[in-house]
Amino acid sequence: MSLTPQEFDYLEKKIGRKPNPLELQIVAAEWSEHCSYKSSKKHLKTLPREGKRVISGPGYDSGVLDVGDGYVITVHIESHNHPSAVEPYGGAATGVGGVIRDILSAGTRPIAILDGLRFGDIEKDMHARWLFKNAVRGIADYGNCLGIPTVGGEIEFDKCFTNYALVDVASVGFGKKERLIQNRADKGDYVVLIGGSTGRDGIGGSQFASDKLESENRSAVQIPDPFIEKLVIEAILEARNQNCIKAMKDLGGGGLSCAISETSDALSVGIELDVSLIHKREQNMSPTELMVSESQERMLVITSPEKLQKLKEICEKLRVSYSVVGKVTTDHTMQIMSEKNTVAKLPSDVVANAPLLDRPASVPKYLATISSIKKPKTPNLSKTLLKMLSNPNIASKRWVYTQYDHEVGIRTVIKPGQDAPVLRLDNGKFLSIKIDGNSKHCYVNPKQGVIGCFDEACRNVVCTGATPIGMVDHLQFGNPEDPEIFWTFKESIEGIIEYAKYFQIPCVGGKVSLYNETDNGPIKPTPLIGVLGLIEHKPLIPQKAKGNDHLIIVGITKDELGGSEYYEYIHDIVGGVCPTVDLQSSKANQEAVLEIIKQDLVKSAHDCSKGGLGVAVSEICMTHDIGCLVSVDKVPSESLKDDELLFSESHSRFLIVADPSKLKMIKNVLEKHKVKHEVIGKFSGKNIVFKNKTKTIASVRVDKAQEKWLNSLGSLVSHG
């Protein structure tokens, strides 16, 4: 897990000599796929990054968006996949800690956490159950100890994640624009390491995460300590208020090697560092161990000589450990000392910028074999609907989110379990944020799959009354050296670009995670999209549906069951036609729904996605504890069979609950926007009934549906 022969030759030519063993380790950490993005950076540069609210975008620890009135929000997303597959509690917990420090690096207070989790088939796989339980516990314990609410996320189970785990954590920060860290440095400034002591945990973590998971290398997994992190947050924010911080970076992947080289390169300065001054957790640590350790809860701060004493006083007051480890120079090199001896000296720009790769790509052969499938016979749809509601991918995730303190900080206006959480901001506005992914769709059609994930995340925030203002992505794939896998990565980038440009939603950050595979093979393409939405006035807080309230559908249902939960969970069919997004009609649908929400015409809005119309209607009925009679023959659609009408996962669809007195005004708005819509149902009683003209095609009792939906995930895990 070191440099390739070509990289070694490149390095030797760049520095004009053979590197010593420590220099090799420093460069190997920074040039790992995890830290350098050497396979993906060329393609990531094509993502649209400009926007009227964008203050800083990709390339920084966190993206920054202006939300008006002198305030900003920051956002970042990270993964901790390999560590979580080996040690799920610690791996997931340190994933939370790392992304929180990315938010802190901008000088903003972290105000929320979201997670995206993926595991094997927990219905049949006990190991997947164990990974799931402990990863959730790690996230819950870390976030709860910090006092930062975990407000949302999404979960997916699939056989492609057998013996593995994808643990994605996103975080949002909030602060005043004038207090953002400016990231500058001058000769003679001090380099200070603040926070947890450096130990031998996490050594080689970035290289460990940049190869197929073959062994359980526990030494590469970091040890979490949320109580230190809490103190570090308060110390950093007080130091920011006292103007003690000129530049700052989280110590994440690659440890000091990456933090020093990237800071030096970004600020166009040199840094001289003495590893003997670092506060340590263990004795007799070598310079190599100190430079590549990924011990957690550490921040690198650059401060001026005038402010050094004040910074020390703040750390001592809050009992946060620190060490003054170096100084800023002007020679653009990173010089590593051990006491009086120079043990490594390298040009920062060489270390921080790995030679980029232009990997070959070819269309996967499997796509030809799954493009056309034999359609299944329509089963008993009442039984099928109940089975779908107990599917772990669709069932309520309350077993997970009730472990999270999602109200701490008193900002949470809409809690987990709805389309998207909503947070109150200090300027009277509200922030809605959602992350979405769908590996099944992305396997069947990588480009349309990721466009669908983007569209779903937008629909989720629109359902709260928010206008999308920015996005982050997390692109997770197998071995990029395989041309077929790299093709799926490139297709995903193309999909994100197409959607982001059309909707004018800038990319402000993201993460690429490659080599996600085990001896069982690679994961399915699993890009994740996070969308941030801003609410200028008030959010749509769902009101309970009552008898005689009407159900309106916006959007068209098509014969698009490829990658659907219905095909895979009920019929074990992989393939078919993946849902595609018509950008023009999707934009019109979103704008129309936003307008009726802003005019206060609707009781609630819900997007129609995983599980299709049958599941989406059932979710409304179960949440509001009321039945509904739905006429599927009124659904705007192509000529579809009953099961296709119920379970197609066509995008760009919304379900609106409305009081009868508001119906005419709602229709006027929808007609003005020229969007396909229809009143398809009326709420009453205790049964969820779907009719096609006079024929009942599915009927389930609300209480029976609730029993399946609410309890299946918890009962599965409790028996694990």
In angstroms, the Cα distances linking 615 to 176, 543, 645, 647 are 42, 19, 11, 8
In angstroms, the Cα distances linking 685 to 627, 629, 710 are 5, 9, 20
Q: Which of 438, 455, 512, 432 is nearest to 152 (CA)?
A: 432
Strand partners, 479: none
Confirm whether 82 is a catalytic residue.
Answer: no
HSE toward the beta carbon, residue 395, CA cutoff 13 A: 23
Task: Give CA–CA dist 648/614, Å, rounded.
Answer: 9
* Residue 318: DSSP 8-state: T
* Contact between 255 and 297 (Cβ < 8 Å): no
In angstroms, the Cα distances linking 341 to 325, 336, 419 are 14, 8, 58
Task: Give CA–CA dist 48/65, Å, rounded.
Answer: 15
Which residues lie closer than 8 Å to 256 by C-beta, 6 or more apart?
Answer: 193, 198, 273, 275, 278, 290, 291, 292, 293, 300
Task: Give CA–CA dist 147/161, Å, rounded.
Answer: 31
Please name the helix (run of DSSP H) or strand (run of DSSP E) that holds residue 439, with its range, or none: helix 439-444
Task: Give CA–CA dist 454/98, Å, rounded.
Answer: 25
Catalytic residue among 34, 82, 550, 677: 34
Confirm whether 34 is a catalytic residue.
Answer: yes
Strand partners, 303: 190
Cβ-count burial 462-485 (b if 16+ within 10 Å, e if not): bbbbbbbbbbbbbbbbbbbebebb
Task: Give CA–CA dist 561/567, Å, rounded.
Answer: 7
Q: Which of 696, 532, 708 is nearest to 611 (CA)?
A: 708
Please name the helix (run of DSSP H) or strand (run of DSSP E) that holds residue 266, with its range, or none: helix 255-267
Task: Give CA–CA dist 653/605, Å, rounded.
Answer: 11
Task: Give CA–CA dist 173/506, Å, rounded.
Answer: 18
* Contact between 106 and 172 (Cβ < 8 Å): no
Task: Give CA–CA dist 682/704, Å, rounded.
Answer: 20
Q: Whose structure tokens read 């995730």?
A: 397
Task: Give CA–CA dist 372/562, Å, rounded.
Answer: 9
Number of residues assigned to the chain: 720
Q: Hey, how many other C-beta atoms are within 10 angstroms of the C-beta on 598?
A: 16
Starting at the edge strand that comes first in sequence, how are the strands of the sheet with 604-608 ordered? 604-608, 653-658, 550-554, 677-683, 628-631, 687-692, 695-701
Q: Where are the alpha helices (DSSP H) in 112-225?
A: 126-146, 205-208
* Contact between 680 and 552 (Cβ < 8 Å): yes
With H, G, I as helix, E, B as strand and everything else as coil, classify residue 280.
strand
Catalytic residue among 43, 80, 82, 651: 80
Task: Give CA–CA dist 74/99, Å, rounded.
Answer: 11
Measured CA angle at 718 (ends 714, 720), to 5 deg = 120
Reduced to 3 DSSP states, what percent helix, strand and coil does the chain have, rounded to the nearest 5? Answer: 40, 25, 35
What positions carry a catalytic annotation?
A: 34, 80
